[in-house]
Amino acid sequence: MYISKEFKFDSAHQLVEYNGKCENLHGHTYKLRVTLKGEVDEKSGMIIDFTILKKIVNENIIERLDHTYLNNIVKQPTAENIVRWIWDELYPLFKTDKYQLYELILWETEDSFVCLRDE
């Protein structure tokens, strides 16, 4: 079974290794969907409590990226590189015998997103 939670954060960046409008300093309101894959615990009836999922992502990702200049955190912060950085930060936190990180979707705009999935 899969469980997902969505988050939002605002950040600025510039793509210095890119020749186009996005090489200029600008910002986005990003939306992040975190999906875990796991077995439902017979006692709790859950894969993981949504509040635990929210706490882990907020403390390790959202608080670090919200209202920041992403270039100080991710080299060439394209949506692809940002989602890979998030994956690398979250993967060890969500790798247990009961569940694991399965998929991240990061929207840079309302209709443009990247997806990284463990297959």
Name the residues annotated as catalytic. Answer: 22, 67, 108
3 state SS of 29:
strand
Q: Among candidates 69, 62, 12, which has minimal Cα distance to 33?
A: 62
HSE of 118, CA atoms in CB hemisphere, 13 A: 19
For tokens 């409008």, the residue is 21
> Residue 84: CB partners within 8 Å, gap ≥ 6?
116
